[in-house]
Structures are given as C-alpha cells and as structure tokens.
Amino acid sequence: MIISDALVEQHIHGAFGIDFMNCAEDELLYTAEKLAQNGVGYFFPTIMTDSIEKIKERISVVKKAKQLQKYNSAQIAGIHLEGPFINPQKAGIHPKNYICSLDEQIYKQIDDEIIKIITLAPELDLSGNFINYLRNKNIKISLGHSLGNDLSQVNQVTHLYNAMGAFSHRGESSCVSALANDNIYTELIADSLHVNDDVLKITFKTKPSDKILIISDALPLAHSDKAKLQFACQVIYNKDGKLVNSDGIFAGSSMLLCDMVKNLAEKQLLKFEDVIKYTSSNQLKYHNLKNNLKVYWNDDYTIQKVEFV
C-alpha cells in the first residue's frame, strides 16, 4: 500500500451526473463528498462560457456551498472561470453566442474574490489592460481556447494541445510556446484520449517536472451511468468513454483525477511518485494549499481508503 497527499482538481465541470453550471448548493456539497472518497482534497468548480447573468448565479451558488462545507469533503479552493473571454475560433463546445470581448467593465459585473483562475485568449487583449487588471487581483491567468503564442502575461496554459494553436515545426503556436517556456505551468488531460500516450511521454520529457498539472476536465457524465447529458447548451454523448457532442467535437473527460492516476501508472507512462507529483504535490504548492488528506493506494492503483488530516 502506498500513501499520498490529497489530489487537487483545478479544472472540473462536474461529476456523478451533477453539472456545476446547473446544480444547487446541496448537489455541489454532495459532489465534494464523493470527490473526497476518490482522493480529492481540494477542487476548483469550473464555470464555463454562458451569459453574464448565469455566471453570476453560478458564482453565488459556489460561494454558498463553500460556506456550508464540512471538513470531511473535498474543499472548494476557488472558482476556475473558463470563458467567456476566449477566442471564438477555438471555442470547442463553448457556446459562441456568449463569448465576450476582453473588457474590464464586463468582468466587473461578475468580479468576485472566489475567482482564482481565469482561462482566456490573451491575443484578444490588444491593450493589455484587461490582463493587467486581473493580475493585480492575484488571479492566475491561463491561456486557453486561444490562438495566441505570447505567454509573457500568463501563469499557465489550459489543457495543453486542446483548443489552442497546434504544434508546428515551421512557426510559433500556443503549444510550441508552452513546451518551450520552462516557467509556464501546463494543464494536461491524461486520459489517453485528449492527448495520445506518445505525446504525453514527449510532454513529460520536455516540461520541468514541477510545472505539469494533470487535470481531469471532468464533465457531469464522469462516474455517471448516463449515456448522454445536456451540457453547454447541447447534448454531450458518452461514446465508450469519449465525450463528444453531436458533431463529434471533443468535450471534457469521463475520468476523474484518480482514474488518470491509474491510467498513467498502469501503462507505466510515469513512475507512481511522479504521477502523484503531477496530480497532488505540484497543485498544492502552486495554489499554496495545506494538505488535508491521506490517500491509501492499493497495488493496482485503486484507492482503498482516505483519511482527513
């Protein structure tokens, strides 16, 4: 048996059939309890592109749930706002009609101290004022759903390789910049679907080990018996573990972080201690969080039990 610190989900849209864009406080609290059973000590409910009114409502729900939390559940560490300040050309499943320009006055309508990470397209901030405003509020800025390649004003990139400028040996792109910059944290969906195993290996060899943040990007279909679900103003289908919309566009993952630990360790894509570093230690340090969980792993990389500390 191996013991690790808590896993940290910094990019998760829901699980167990519960959608963070539509759930009530008690459903969010239930999800937090279930996540703890799956080794998660902290999580950042991820709010995606929608109307300003809907985003404000979601922020309110997350804040109320955080106030009601008990110690024996995964703790809400803050909100990850993925959109609406993204590039329409890399929207993915984000509803394009709700995408906003990078305007400080628009953001002030939803501004709240619980927002800790914002995924945006920095190339659309032509003046630089919007990102500077966010940085002054100590929000972590993440390049994502973007065609930009200038990482000088960001802390990280969102789900490397997905919804960004593709790798090219002939020119600059989001992927090339993220791989080449040793100071930038990189989110990585390690379900072997969003990113091929060989590309995962290349990434692990390329990026400094303290700058890799494995995320689940889990959708409400994760750990759910549902075959399809309404999400982001459309129906998302579970096709043998691959979550797609009716056009076949990739959505988030059907796995939680613990499933990705098992996936990477079983395939020996990483040593187990490195898997834990990328799913736990790096995140705890990055967000300045105190470990709150002991996770006991079986030899087959499943979780036997958790203990709160």
109: Cβ contacts below 8 Å, ≥ 6 apart: 52, 56
Active site residues: 217
User: Which pLDDT belongs to residue 252?
Assistant: 96
- What pLDDT score was predicted for residue 273? 96
Nearest CA to 146 out of 122, 126, 169, 112 is that of 122
Report the pLDDT averaged over residues 162-176.
92
- CA-to-CA dists, residue 55 to 60, 93, 100, 144, angstroms: 9, 17, 12, 18
State the pLDDT at residue 109: 98
Kindly indicate the confidence band of residue 168, based on its pLDDT and cuts at 50, 70 and 90.
confident
Please state the rounded mean pLDDT for residues 278-303. 98
Cα gap 55→47, rounded to integer Å: 7
| CATH numbers and ranges of domains, the chain | 2-308 (3.20.20.140)
The CA-atom distances, in angstroms, between 283 and each of 42, 104, 225, 234, 246 are 10, 28, 29, 31, 34
**Which pLDDT score, from 0 to 100, does residue 267 have?**
97
Q: What is the pLDDT of residues 27-48, one digit of tens each?
A: 999 999 999 999 999 999 999 9
Q: CA-to-CA distance for 104 and 190, rounded, in angstroms?
A: 34
**227-255 pLDDT, tens per residue?**
999 999 999 999 999 999 999 999 999 99
Does residue 191 surpass a pLDDT of 90?
yes
- pLDDT given at position 1: 82
Per-position b or e across 192-206, b if 16+ CB within 10 A of its CB:
bbbbeeebbeebbee
Cα(200)–Cα(183) distance, rounded to whole angstroms? 19
Q: In 3-state terms, what secondary structure has residue 15?
A: strand
Q: Is the pTM of this model over 0.85?
A: yes
CA distance linking residue 22 with residue 111, whole number of Å: 20
Residue 209 has pLDDT above 90, yes or no: yes
Mean pLDDT of the chain: 97
Are the C-beta atoms of residues 214 and 257 closer than 8 Å to each other? yes
Q: Is the peptide bond before 84 cis (omega within 30 degrees of 0)?
A: yes
Work out the pLDDT band at 308, boundaries 50, 70, 90. very high
The conformation of residue 159, written as its DSSP 8-state character, comes to S
Distance (Å, whole) CA 25 – CA 102: 30
pLDDT value of position 47: 98
In this structure, are residues 157 and 172 in contact, taking their beta carbons and an 8 Å threshold? Answer: no
